[in-house]
Amino acid sequence: MPNHLAIIMDGNSRWAKARNLPRVAGHKQGAENAKEITKCAVKLNIKYLTLYTFSSENWKRGEEEVSTLMGLLKLYLERDANELIGNGINLKFIGDLAGLPNDIEALCRKVEKASQKNDRLQLNIALNYGSKQEIVNAAKKLALTGREITEENLEKELYTYPCPVPDLMVRTGGDQRISNFLLWQSAYTELYFTETLWPDFNMEELQKAIEDFKGRERRFGGR
């Protein structure tokens, strides 16, 4: 069983298009599914779950779509955070939170503080996240403080520290790339790609990914 599962949640727009629905309907269903998969992770005793929610490149989308995504994010945090916290989930937000709208940044900080003592599952929500910039920022911090640039020191400055690295990364929607997500952390992560669109990715699909993972021999660069 993976201790840390990371997911690139792709396919919301195609899910909506296939049903002749507006793109926002796909994003809404995708957000609902994120909550359901979090519950599945708890049932499977996965201890860390990282969801790629909004990348730093997503700002390039149309203004209306970005505004819709920010509105949905705020809605679901306000509506569902207490339920997640009540279920023992520790919520962490990774990424450049200062680049988010002020009200959403404040909400993220509030939710983090309210859930910080929970230990049933750590849910990392990647917002305004870009892994290349994360690594650059970490290196800059080391340089500014005069610390030696080593793997150990750099890892301590990543958004994800002290969370363990992912064991399994799943990408839904058919594309086979990791899209600037957890580049440093996924050096030895097992990758699993599925054609299933994110809103349709359920417990059965998650278990397929985990069974595939269990059948792999992880050598971490050795033979």
Where exactly are the structural domains of the chain? Answer: 4-214
- Segment 11-21 mean pLDDT: 98
Cα separation values, 71 from 57, 75, 76, 96, Å: 18, 6, 9, 18
Q: Nearest Cα to 6, choosing from 209, 214, 212?
A: 209
Q: What's the number of CA atoms in the CB half-sphere (13 Å) around residue 9?
A: 30
Written as six digits, the tokens of 73 are: 């994010």
Q: Which residues are 144's β-sheet partners?
A: none
In the chain, beta strands by DSSP E: 4-8, 48-55, 89-94, 121-129, 168-171, 190-193
Q: What mean pLDDT is reported for the chain?
A: 96
Is the pLDDT assigned to residue 221 strictly greater than 90?
A: no
pLDDT tens for 35-64 read: 999 999 999 999 999 999 999 999 999 898
Residue 8 has pLDDT above 90, yes or no: yes
Mean per-residue pLDDT, 138-162? 97
Show the tokens assigned to 142: 């080391």
The catalytic site residues sit at 10, 58
Confidence of residue 220 (pLDDT cuts 50, 70, 90): confident
Beta-bridged to residue 121, according to DSSP, are 89
Q: Are 23 and 13 in contact (CB under 8 A)?
A: yes
Q: How high is the pLDDT of residue 223? A: 61
Instruction: For residue 116, report the phi and psi dihedrals to the nearest 5 degrees.
Output: -65, -20
* CA dist list (Å): 65 to 68, 75, 78: 5, 15, 20
pLDDT of residue 58: 95
| Statement: residue 80 has pLDDT above 80 | yes
Pick the CATH number of 4-214 from 3.40.630.30, 3.40.50.720, 3.10.620.30, 3.40.1180.10: 3.40.1180.10
- Determine the residue type at 176: Q
DSSP string, 159-197: TTTTSPPPSEEEE-SS----TTSSTTTTTT-EEEE-SS-
pLDDT of residue 218: 81
Q: State the Cα–Cα distance between residues 110 and 112, nearest whole angstrom.
A: 5
pTM: 0.96
Compute the average pLDDT of residues 167-182: 98
> What is the token pair recorded at 159?
């958004």
Rounded Cα distance, 87 and 121, in Å: 9
At 196-216, the pLDDT tens digits run: 999 999 999 999 999 999 999
What's the pLDDT score for residue 222? 64
What's the pLDDT score for residue 217? 86
How does pLDDT run across 83-103, given as a tens digit for each residue?
999 999 999 999 999 999 999
